[in-house]
């Protein structure tokens, strides 16, 4: 048998295994990204619901009261206070006339 025939027959299984492993990696990555995207969408919807719940229940609190409560509940959190907004993580609470009006 010629050397090139032997080299070809020896490299075919190696290349086949390599293609299968790479294909598995690509499919696994695609599935992981899809489920991660679904989880992120669920998290965004839950944050919107929680924000609306907070707005309805906390509309009688002033911005200072709300800031005080946020710092009590989440003392290690990075809370940014703008003119009429409180930002904590991805949540933004907007105040109008000193009262909580909506969450973004």
How confident is the model over 91-104, as pLDDT tens digits? 888 888 888 888 88
Identify the residue whose tokens are 């048998």: 1
Q: Is 63 exposed, middle or buried (0-12, 13-18, 19+ CB in 10 A)?
A: buried
Q: Is the pTM of this model over 0.85?
A: no
Alpha carbon distance 2, 26 (integer Å): 36
Condensed to tens digits (0 to 9), the pLDDT of residues 22-70 reads: 999 999 999 999 999 999 998 888 888 777 778 777 778 888 888 888 8
């Amino acid at each position: 048998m010629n050397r090139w025939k032997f080299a070809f027959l020896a490299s075919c299984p190696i290349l086949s295994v390599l293609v299968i492993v790479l294909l598995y990696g690509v499919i696994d990555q695609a599935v992981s990204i899809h489920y991660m995207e679904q989880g992120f969408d669920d998290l965004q919807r839950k944050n919107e619901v929680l924000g609306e719940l907070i707005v309805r229940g906390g509309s009688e609190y002033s911005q200072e009261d709300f800031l005080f409560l946020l710092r009590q509940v989440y003392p290690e959190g990075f809370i940014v206070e703008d003119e009429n907004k409180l930002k904590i993580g991805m949540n933004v609470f907007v105040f109008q006339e000193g009262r909580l009006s909506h969450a973004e």
